[in-house]
Amino acid sequence: MSWWLGGVFYALVVLAVFFLSGSLPPSYLLATLALAGGALIFRSAIDSQFKKTGLSATLEALEKMGRDEDIGGIYLEGEWAPLGEAVRRTAGFTVERLRDLQEEKSKLETILAHMVDGVVLFSARKRVLLLNPAAEGILGVGREMIGARGLELYRHLPLDEALDRVLASGVGTTLEVRLYHPGEKDLQVFLSPVRGGDEGKPSGVLLVLRDVSQERAVEKMRREFVADVTHELQTPLTSILGYVETLQEGVEDAATRERFLGVVQVEAKRLSRLLDDLLDLSRIQAGVLSYRQDLLDLGATVRDVAGRFRPRAEQDGRCLELHLPDEPLPVRGDADRLGQVLWNLLVNADKYTPAGGGIRVRVGKDGPWATVAVEDDGVGIPAEELPRIFDRFYRVDKGRSRQSGGTGLGLPIARGIVEAHGGRVEARSKVGKGSEFIVRLPLHKEEQSG
């Protein structure tokens, strides 16, 4: 009787597969159980009547099918032949169906494994049923969280409350949350109910996590940039408008009139520099600023820029020292743009160095790099300010910078040009001791190999 039970069991498994895949309603499965019981009674009644007849062969075939053995050699004759053919068709269809299910399962696993967004499936009791690799990375957890409660996974009470609402109402929702573990990040969260529960209630909730931290950071930078540009434009424009209105009312004293016109000219030039710097910076950041790729002697480029800047430094009471190597330092780049970098660094050093102080420029070689160091005897930069000095419009001493006509864009432009040449720029400083800016550019390959 055991082989007969195996056949019946196999038939039940086949129908169960159809039920789980959604092809059959639950009532069909209950009917199958009833039929199986009737089949057992029927088998007991006729067992003594048939030996190796068509029915016996059919039962043997079912037994072999249950053991996953080949049944191709068994043939059913007479009135049982149609039943044998039906069994073979059913077996073939079942195998094909199982293969399709396995293929769909593999596709789903592949999709989940390669999704950028995190996917988490919760049960109706808020237990984690599924967790893809992206979700593990976003939440800083591993596979051990399967079976854990939702709050243990995301550690965010408003998100947990949203999960409760979706389970209670069966209506999906979207919200944005900020998580602080394993690091601070902004997430856009989509919650969708999983249908199929009792009385129309959700049997679970599908959670999709999208990391929007970078987008929010860009939006914040854009808002700050607009605010900074507005402020920078407003200051000189207010000054210009004030003096123009005064002149329009009539100023009899010629000296006063000339002084007012001089202020208007200075502020207008400041506006022009600001717009030029903004245009340069936007082109640099967009990657559309073109650069020549000439073979240059970096020492000669520095000597030319320092020579043009020396009169200004001496006029302001600063001593400019220049230290150049004996041998040429060949680099590939745009002489005008690299000269702009050095000019911006010299202007910055001159701005923060008191009268009587010194500015030193050293050109040298450090492994595969050609280096230019600009050192000053200025007021120095606090350690907490150093990471921000290359930000747009950032000034350590805002009053001093504006008085000297600075736009707050010189250092960001310098860094952008250096990085476009494959180099980098760094800053060192001590309050009250001065600052040093070091530019590193890759030496020409022949020089590196030499």
CATH number belonging to domain 217-286: 1.10.287.130
Torsion of CA 162, 167, 168, 170, to 10 degrees: 100
Quote the pTM value: 0.54
Cα distances (angstroms) measured from residue 422 to each of 37, 189, 440: 80, 39, 9
Buried b (16+ CB within 10 A) or exposed e, 27-44: eeeeebeeeeeeeeeebe
Superfamily of domain 115-211: PAS domain (3.30.450.20)
For residues 15 and 39, the answer to whether their CB atoms sit within 8 Å is no
Torsion of CA 276, 278, 281, 286, to 10 degrees: -110
| Token pair for 243 | 């003096």
Q: Give the residue extent of every domain in the chain.
A: 2-111, 115-211, 217-286, 294-449
Buried b (16+ CB within 10 A) or exposed e, 76-98: beeebeeebeebbeebeebeeee
- Measured from the Cβ of residue 210, the count of other Cβ atoms closer than 10 Å reads 17
Report pLDDT for 398: 52
β 319-323/358-366 pair status: parallel
323 is catalytic: no
Which of 181, 231, 323, 421 is flagged as catalytic? 231
CA–CA dist 418, 437 (Å, integer): 12
Residue appearing with tokens 């890759």: 442
For residues 162 and 173, the answer to whether their CB atoms sit within 8 Å is yes
Residues in the chain: 450
β 173-179/204-211 pair status: unpaired
For the chain, the distance separating the N- and C-terminal CA atoms, rounded to the nearest angstrom, is 89
CA–CA dist 87, 340 (Å, integer): 85
Q: Say which residues have a Cβ less than 8 Å from residue 305's Cβ, sequence separation at least 6.
A: 339, 342, 343, 346
Report pLDDT for 355: 86
Please give the chain's pLDDT, 450 residues, in tens.
Answer: 444 444 444 454 445 444 444 444 544 444 454 444 444 444 444 444 444 444 445 445 544 544 445 455 455 566 666 766 776 677 677 767 878 887 887 888 788 888 889 999 999 999 999 999 999 999 999 989 999 999 999 889 999 999 999 999 999 999 999 988 888 899 999 999 998 766 778 899 999 999 999 888 888 877 877 777 777 777 778 888 888 888 888 877 888 888 888 888 888 887 887 788 788 888 887 777 788 889 999 999 999 999 999 998 888 888 999 999 989 899 999 999 999 999 999 998 988 888 888 999 999 999 999 999 999 988 888 888 888 888 877 766 555 444 545 667 888 889 999 999 999 999 998 888 889 999 999 998 765 545
3-state secondary structure of 368: coil
Residue appearing with tokens 């059959």: 24
Q: Say which residues have a Cβ less than 8 Å from residue 419's Cβ, sequence separation at least 6.
A: 425
CA–CA dist 123, 197 (Å, integer): 10
3-state secondary structure of 67: coil
CATH number belonging to domain 294-449: 3.30.565.10
- Measured from the Cβ of residue 48, the count of other Cβ atoms closer than 10 Å reads 7
For residues 324 and 302, the answer to whether their CB atoms sit within 8 Å is yes
